Structure 1
């Protein structure tokens, strides 16, 4: 992992196994399948439910910083803890949770390389016991919007022909599909992509074992393949911002791009908006 720009943002499963009882560390599981944690999880791991906890249940937005601080402090996470995120689907939702924590100012956030499946593949144990961390006072900051793009900003970005990375499947990008294959309920009225966007499906950034590809492989994917360069101002998007948070993590921390934003409104917003342009390849 040393070849990455910020190798400190990743830990391996061995590191996690050695720090299960470290009082300065909190392990956080965030899954697409919100029932997996109850089936079994890494000892002392704390569940963060992206659907019911991180997102406001009335407004399509995140909980505000006071609610975030109350939520996280209530789980026994303090401002000074080293947080290690992991989850299913090659850490897709783990990266999403990390992105939200970064918006609210948590300093030391890391990803367990390979995620939940690598832990399983190595035969490491799970437990159904929940940790009993005492609640603490957590003070959130922000939100830091330098890593988040909104629809008007994304439209300006597209009109200026600045780099956009669409991390969805080729079928979604082309317009053949109006929704992700497994989520027909989260489709849009129109299929296609934001004008000027290049298609680099998020899953291409990981190796077969779920770990991130090497820095050289990632540069080949995003720079040789999609034409990016490290000084670019980049906006990534997908369907609701979850897959693109994975790409945001790769570009920001593994390749060291200083100006990457995640458009979390993504295609469920853009594909239903009145008055914005789209492109199709079908």
Structure 2
């Protein structure tokens, strides 16, 4: 009975968090046997301190190189990685980094990878490791992980490719997650040969969704940014892209997991594919709004 109550409390906490769980909420759930913590950092940082029973993972475990860009690995590969981290079909997964903004993006990409492949209960730690460590006990020991039984069930409606983007340029809104100078075309992103953005895409820098302390902005702020600023509605399709998938994964995660836009899609290859070809249209020196 006690175990069942703990599961119900955990589910209540994480459903109320809308994709982001606070350090206080997470600390109250550490005894839940279904809880799996994933630390996205380098080994040296992980060894210096991590959340209790957290397993170390690398975003590159979930991605593969394809020409000049990267794509998510196959479902069978994601399944194997998830199992190695102790993830079961009924696991409650919380992912975090150590305060570096790149780790925040890597965390959202790992969350994306799991959700695309059928994971039902995935959250990010709001404020990451640093906020948790200021209030609660952390550890240095590497836990023994029991292999999980996670079975990947691929959702084909989330990731989109170049041809899909090309055919939907004037049909559905697109948001670019890169810093504005890359969107506008005054600077080139690393690994991208052509400056500018996909025609009709709107600039939506991922970092603007967070406060200076790396905590997520309020619901009111996010509604103002996405629902008012870009005139999005919950039933809308919207394509997210960036340099190479990481930045856009955070915009996607917020829209899909936090704000309930279940038709949000991610162009994984992003500008490292689009901007390195000569047969793709690009717009620069222009701020755009979407109109059909």
**Category of TM-score, reference length = shorter chain:** 0.7 to 0.9
- Does 1:268 pair with 2:255? no
Query: In the alignment, is the contact (CA less than 8 A) between 1:117 and 1:210 conserved in 2?
Result: no
**How has the CA–CA distance of structure 1 residues 76 and 264 changed in structure 2, closer, same or farther, with 3 Å as cutoff?**
same
Question: Structure 1 residue 134: deviation in Å?
Answer: 1.7
Deviates more, 1:21-30 or 1:262-271: 21-30
Partner of 2:231, secondary structure, is coil
Of the three residues 142, 165, 189, the one matched with 1:130 is 142
Partner of 1:116 in structure 2?
Answer: 129
Is the contact made by 2:178 and 2:203 (CA closer than 8 Å) also made in structure 1? yes
Q: Secondary structure at the match of 1:116?
A: helix
Is 1:278 paired with 2:282? yes
Which residue of the other structure, out of 112, 115, 122, is the alignment partner of 1:99? 112
Q: Structure 2 matches for 1:80-95, cutoff 5 A?
A: 80-87=90-97, 88-89=99-100, 91-95=104-108
Aligned residues: CA RMSD: 2.4
Instruction: Report if the CA contact (8 A) 1:13-1:119 is conserved.
Output: yes
Instruction: Tell me by how many angstroms 1:6 deviates.
Output: 6.3
Counterparts in 2 of 1:8 and 1:205: CA distance versus 1, 3 Å: closer
2:220 maps to 1:216:
yes
Report the number of matched residues.
269
Shift of 1:72: 1.8
TM-superposition CA deviations, 1:105-158 (whole Å, max 9, x none): 1111112112123224x243432211102223332121x121112111111121
1:241 is displaced (CA, Å) by: 0.9
Write out per-residue CA displacement over residues 170-221 of structure 1, whole angstroms, 9 at most, x where no aligned residue.
Answer: 1111111111xxxxxx421101000001111101111222221112111211
The CA deviation at 1:38 is 3.2
Q: Contact between 2:71 and 2:268, CA under 8 Å: does it hold in 1?
A: no
